Amino acid sequence: MRLGVLDVGSNTVHLLVVDAHPGARPLPAHSHKAELRLAELLDDEGAISEAGIDRLVAVVQEALEAAEDKGVEEVLPFATSAVREAANADTVLARVQKETGITLPVLTGDEEARLTFLAARRWFGWSAGKLLVLDIGGGSLEIGFGMDEEPDAAASLPLGAGRLTKAWLPGDSPDPTDVRALRRHVRAQIARIVGDFARHGTPDHTVGTSKTFKQLARIAGAARSTDGLYVQRALTRRSLEEWVPKLAGMTSAERARLPGVSEGRASQLVAGALVAEAAMDLFGVEELEICPWALREGVILRRLDHLPTP
């Protein structure tokens, strides 16, 4: 069957269309996305502006039309931290439902972490052993650890690249004092939960998902996306530590000229790199492997698990 997963994230609204069947690998058929940066559209009271809601409704409608055009049988919609934590979340969800007909479930941070972990486990398989999965989104950082498809430990922290950029790094080229303050904040937040994971043992394999990790790996020399999904891509802590001060000293335009960095994400890359560096350091990770699958694929896989086998 043809499924469409509609991800209302903190940075983008992304419709991923796949051809999927129980027991088979989902095959991507179409991708439709619009950059909204909802995490950066919150006002001083933490609410999404009227203009932001209008734009969200329009983009969701466009995605639903694209799903119809591509013959999607079922749309699996969900929203993440930007909507979840908005002061006017109920108003936002009501507007989307009224004007598009779609009821938009809001995932908890724990659900995000667990579904992302499921996607990574299915991608790497049982031979990867105990997995530590790190995912940096626009609004939050998700962490999962375990041996099975359900992680033994999962956490979600408000350390998304978009959220932190807005709150801590104003201006185009961040002030070194602001970068240092954000570094302290990020490390203090992550350090609080490291012990919850450490009691479950040492990971056999550490995985990074999300656009932030993919961009950082590409900057550090990993293969291009055009080289295909199955090329192994990794990011070392050493290379990341070398790049963090370089990125902090650049303007957004200069970062956008780096390999693999999109113009829309360039402004968030310093905050994302600080989170990645802190997580790898505090969890004792020297190298992680980039996983092509993440939350959207986890949602699809969970849905397939509940379909009857033909």
**Mean pLDDT confidence for 142-168:** 96
Read off the pLDDT band of 310 (50, 70, 90). Answer: low
Q: What is the DSSP string of the chain?
A: -EEEEEEE-SSEEEEEEEE--TTS--EEEEEEEEE--GGG-B-TTSPBPHHHHHHHHHHHHHHHHHHHHTT-SEEEEEE-HHHHT-TTHHHHHHHHHHHH-----B--HHHHHHHHHHHHHHHH-GGG-SEEEEEE-SS-EEEEEESSSS-SEEEEES--HHHHHHHH--SSS--HHHHHHHHHHHHHHHHHHHHHHHTT---SEEEEESHHHHHHHHHTTPPPGGG-TTS--EEEHHHHHHHHHHHHTS-HHHHHTSTT--TTTGGGHHHHHHHHHHHHHHTT-SEEEE-S--HHHHHHHHHHHTSPP-
What is the reported pLDDT for 11? 87
Judged against a pLDDT cut of 80, whether residue 39 lies above it is answered with no
Sorted by where each begins, the domain ranges of the chain are 2-106, 125-295
Judged against a pLDDT cut of 70, whether residue 195 lies above it is answered with yes
Task: Pick 46 or 180 by higher pLDDT.
Answer: 180
Task: Judge whether 2-106 and 125-295 match in fold.
Answer: yes
Read off the pLDDT band of 21 (50, 70, 90). Answer: confident
CATH topology of domain 125-295: Nucleotidyltransferase; domain 5 (3.30.420)
Judged against a pLDDT cut of 70, whether residue 190 lies above it is answered with yes
Judged against a pLDDT cut of 90, whether residue 90 lies above it is answered with yes
The model's pTM: 0.95
What is the reported pLDDT for 113? 98
- What's the pLDDT tens digit per position in 199-238? 999 999 999 999 999 999 999 999 999 999 899 999 999 9
According to CATH, the superfamily of the domain at 2-106 is ATPase, nucleotide binding domain (3.30.420.40)
